[in-house]
Amino acid sequence: MTKAGRGTYGFLVNAAGLHADRIARLFGVGERYTILPFRGRYYELVAPFAIRRLIYPVPDLRVPFLGVHFTNAVDGTTYVGPTAMPALGRENYSGVRGIRMRDAAAIGTTTIRQYASNKQGFRTLLHQEAARLLKRNFAAAARRLVPRLETRYLKPSTKAGIRAQLFDRVKNELVMDFVVERGERSLHILNAVSPGFTTAFSFARFALDFDKVAAA
C-alpha cells in the first residue's frame, strides 16, 4: 500500500537504496541489516587546466568509501569529492532537511558505538572526513591526486549524495560487498556498493541468475 494506492505484483525486485532494508523486512528478509546513511559533499573544479579522465586514490580496504576523487559529468563539469560523513536521516541531503528523530537516534547510537570501538578504522575515518569539511583540508586531499590544484580552483557545488551504506548489526560492521537476498516472490538488493552504476549490466545479470548462483 502506497500513497498512490494499492499495487499488485507477480515478482518484486527491491532495489530501493536508502529504504531497501525496510522493504526487505516487510518480507521477513535481511533482519540483521540496517542502512547507515553517509552524506557526500562535492566541489566543482574551476581551473586553468582540464581533467579529462577519472582519477581515483588507492582505497582504504577497511572501509567501503573511495575517498576524494575526480569525475567528469556529461556536461563537461569536473566534480571533486565526495566527503563521507554520517547523515542524521536517510533523506538528509542538506541542513536539517530529511531528519526524523527516530532515525536520527538510531543512526547516532550506531555511529557512537562504532566510533568507540574503532572497528574497521571507523574513528580514523570520521576524523579524516570531519577535517575535510574545511575547504583547505579537502583541497589537500585532492592535491594528492593533482599536485598543481590550488584551493581557489574549487567552487562549492550544489551536488550532494546520500550513500545507502548497509550495516550488519550482528557483526557490528559496515558491509563491504553486494548483499542480495531472496524472499517470497521477491529479490532484495540490500547493498549495491560502488561502483554499482558502472557494473549495472553485469550486476543485473547476476541478480537475474541469483537463484542459480545461490544454489551453486
* DSSP codes joined into one string, 195-208: STTTTHHHHHHHHH
Q: Which one-letter DSSP state was computed for residue 194? A: S
Q: Which residues pair with 45 in a beta bridge?
A: 154
Position 145 scores a pLDDT of: 98
The Cα–Cα gap between 76 and 107 comes to 36
Q: Comparing C-alpha atoms, which of 152, 158, 159 is closest to residue 135?
A: 152
Which pLDDT score, from 0 to 100, does residue 4 have?
A: 81
pTM tops 0.85: yes
Average pLDDT over residues 192-203: 75
Q: Are strands 33-45 and 186-191 parallel, antiparallel or unpaired?
A: unpaired
* Average of per-residue pLDDT values in the chain: 92
For 129-140, write each residue's pLDDT tens digit: 999 999 999 999
Does the pLDDT value for residue 213 go beyond 60?
Answer: no
Q: In the predicted model, what is the mean pLDDT of residues 164-171?
A: 96
Task: Return the SS3 of 144.
Answer: coil
- pLDDT tens, residue by residue, 113-157: 999 999 999 999 999 999 999 999 999 999 999 999 999 999 999
216 pLDDT above the threshold of 50: no
Please write the tens of the pLDDT for every residue from 8-65.
Answer: 889 999 999 999 999 999 999 999 999 999 999 999 999 999 999 999 999 888 998 9
pLDDT in the model for residue 122: 97
CA distances to 106, 108, 115, 162, 164 from 178, in Å: 23, 24, 24, 17, 12
Q: Where are the domains of the chain?
A: 12-215
Query: Regarding predicted confidence, which is higher, 1 or 11?
Result: 11
Specify whether the CB–CB gap between 35 and 167 falls below 8 A. yes
* Residue pair 92/112 in contact by the 8 Å Cβ criterion: no
